[in-house]
Amino acid sequence: MVRWRDGRGELSVRGDGEGVLVRVPLEIAASYRARTRGLLGRDSLDGALLLSPANSVHTFRMRMPIDVAYLDRRLRVVAVRTMPPGRLGLPRLRARHVLEAEAGAMEGWGLRVGARLTIDLGSP
């Protein structure tokens, strides 16, 4: 199992089973402090934020609605939700990581339940 560290990388999403590959800038929040801070206080996000380990999120004190994808240990998408500010997401039993992005972004990437994501740590 991969142990992530706080930092940056690139997320690859193979959308809609069409073989189209979308590359997205990624921030990784693996420390307790970084996971707790998450997207609080931000008005926007360029790309996505990976919280690891995590199996649930909340949007209390957030300024924007977000898309949330729950990922299993193999980075396969278990569930995708859009959450407005002030909500508490239920924990997903099979989820080991949570991916957050601005609302509508994941649909644009073609991210769906069952998709497998890859992360490249060598990118910005």
Whole-angstrom distance, CA of residue 27 vs CA of residue 5: 10
Decide which of 61 and 19 is more confident. 61
Encoding tokens for residue 91?
């924990």
Gap between the Cα atoms of 32 and 87, Å rounded: 21
Cα–Cα distance measured from residue 76 to residue 110, given in angstroms and rounded to the nearest whole number: 14
Confidence of residue 123 (pLDDT cuts 50, 70, 90): very low
pLDDT in tens, 32-75: 999 988 888 788 889 999 999 999 999 998 999 999 999 999 99
Strand order across the beta sheet in which 48-51 lies: 77-83, 66-71, 97-102, 48-51, 20-29, 7-15, 117-120
The string of pLDDT tens digits covering residues 68-118 is 999 999 999 999 999 999 999 999 999 999 999 999 999 999 999 999 999
